[in-house]
Amino acid sequence: MCKSKGIGHFFKQNRGFRGLYPQSKSPAYLCPFPQDHPYMRYQPLDSSVFVANRARYTASLGSGSMAVFVASDQVPANGDAYHPYRPDSNLYWLSGIDQELTALLLFPDCPNPAYREVLFVRETSPELAVWEGPRHSREEASALSGISQVLWEKDFETVLWTQAKYASDIHLALNENDRASASPVRSASQRLAGRLTNDFPLHRFHRASPALDRLRAVKSQEEVQTLQKAISITHNALLQALKVIRPGCMEYQVEAALAGSILGQGAEGFSFEPIIASGDHACILHYTRNAAPCKDGDLLLMDFGASYAHYAADLTRCIPVNGRFTPRQKEVYDAVLDVQRQAMDLLRPGRSLNDYNQESALIMQDAVLRLGLISSEEVAKQDPKSPAYKRYFPHGTGHFLGLDVHDVGARYESLQEGMVITCEPGLYIPEEGLGIRIENDVVVSAAGPVDLMKDLPIRTDEIEEAYHSAQRN
């Protein structure tokens, strides 16, 4: 039997809508768990959501299979500081636990019923309670997750290594998001995989990610409602930011207005590092310095979103710094908006995300032609691998959205009802100092796409009216 070291052993080595889903008058998907718990900022989802998620996942496991998940690392910064903790998305989706040093063991065929579903959480100590506040009690963790067997993390290795002997197959989840690049930092999940494959070389090991990715990509009613909550917070933040946008204001002042509103509404914060890009900075796709003044006559591109219960909103809007679009800005903006409307209509079951991006690109090519940015002769002679429109539209039209802003999903398989996809065409014209992107979050439905952001201002006249209304108030 392996000596019990707890989950901490794996961490201490780290260095480095309405419509499709009608909103009920009583949001039953929210947990009655006390809102004033020191470790919970948002109203958690009801445990039934996570019970259902686990049932969907364990149904995909073969006979004799065990699945193991561990929490994300607490990533050190300088000195004795740490970067803000963010839970592992798979572990959170399966358990609802938003806390470091957490682990989950799923073993439906375990001969001992007590270990068929076990959650491990960090035990509060008097010192931890003084310095950081208490962590979930076992009873609280059970109420949040719907898991009856909750043990302290110090028992994790003992239970895991003991019960693994009764399994023939072990399923482990690594970061297999197809947008992720290789990292020199080994995660807690990678370190666990290394230990298990070394200690149990005769077991069969499997990737948990393919099954989880497909399941997570299709959102439940409760998940869509939570996304809608994140979007509502994002909408309010946009309206608040409009109050400070004017010639001479700084990009970071706009960011501050967004952050204040998002945090003030009970969200964890931004769902990703916000892009607040004025003038030609908008032609830098991932501009995040947000350090320049906003000049009279420029457009301000804002790409941001709130994270609520770890579900990510993702919005992009372009605002004239002085409150009025110039004729040229309006011309390009309307062209992008027309592309978005056409592209959004493609989000139906049967088409893959890859198909969606490719077909949307052809719609954008026509728009670039109409704007005179490229010629028909260039299109006729272009290299298919490097089409002419790419000079002005270098990215895709959308991505999966959920617990991660670039959420998991199979981009070459058919879209299904309940998937949430962004629709974000853009045009970037450096020679004109003009970058425009428009982004909404959309639920795939056979009856037609459900725009979760349909209530936000999007036409140029709506944006101008919202701007001047905010300035008056």
Q: What is the pLDDT of residues 95-150, one digit of tens each?
A: 999 999 999 999 999 999 999 999 999 998 888 888 888 889 999 999 999 999 99
Angle 16-72-2 from CA coordinates, rounded to 5° = 95
Burial 204-214 (b: 16+ CB within 10 A, else e): eebebbebbbb
Cβ contacts of 106 within 8 Å, gap of 6 or more: 54, 57, 58, 61, 66, 67, 68, 69, 94, 116, 117
Contacts of 83 (CB under 8 A, 6+ apart): 74, 75, 76, 77
Band (pLDDT 50/70/90 cuts) for residue 1 is very low
Contact by Cβ (8 Å): 7, 101 = yes
Answer whether residue 13 shows pLDDT above 90: no
| Mean local confidence (pLDDT), 19-36 | 45
Same fold for the pair 8-217 and 221-472: no
Q: How high is the mean pLDDT of the chain?
A: 91
In this prediction, residue 8 has a pLDDT band, given cuts at 50, 70 and 90, of low
pLDDT of residue 333 exceeding 60, the answer is yes
**How far is the C-alpha of 339 from the C-alpha of 66, rounded, in Å?**
47
Of 177-181, 188-192, 249-253, minimum mean pLDDT range:
177-181
At 274 the pLDDT is: 98
Residue 182's pLDDT band (cuts 50, 70, 90): confident
Nearest partner of 120 among 1, 268, 11, 211, judged by Cα: 11
Domain residue extents for the chain: 8-217, 221-472
Q: What is the arithmetic mean of pLDDT over 47-67?
A: 97
Sheet of 440-443: strands edge to edge? 420-423, 440-443, 450-451
Cβ burial of 292 (10 Å; 0-12, 13-18, 19+) is middle
Is pLDDT of 27 > 80?
no
Proportion of the chain above pLDDT 70, given as a percent: 92
Asked if residue 92 has pLDDT above 60, the reply is: yes
Q: Are 61 and 97 in contact (CB under 8 A)?
A: no
- 255 backbone dihedrals φ, ψ, rounded to 5°: -60, -40
183 band by pLDDT with thresholds 50, 70 and 90: confident
For residue 335, pLDDT beyond 50: yes
Average confidence (pLDDT) over 272-290: 97
Check residue 26 and give its pLDDT. Answer: 39
Fold of 221-472: Creatine Amidinohydrolase (3.90.230)
pLDDT higher than 60, residue 210: yes
Q: Does the pLDDT of residue 20 top 50, yes or no?
A: no
pLDDT, mean of residues 366-391: 94
Nearest alpha-carbon partner for 40 in 104, 135, 121, 126: 135
Residues 68-85: what's their mean pLDDT? 91
Determine the CATH number of domain 8-217: 3.40.350.10
Question: Residue 39 — pLDDT band, cuts 50, 70, 90?
Answer: low
Give me the mean pLDDT over the 19-41 stretch.
Answer: 49
Query: What is the structure's pLDDT at 29?
Result: 53
Q: Is the pLDDT of residue 33 over 80?
A: no
pLDDT, position 251:
98
For 394-433, the pLDDT digits (tens) are 999 999 999 999 999 999 999 999 999 999 999 999 999 9
Among 8-22, 125-139, 158-172, the least confident range = 8-22
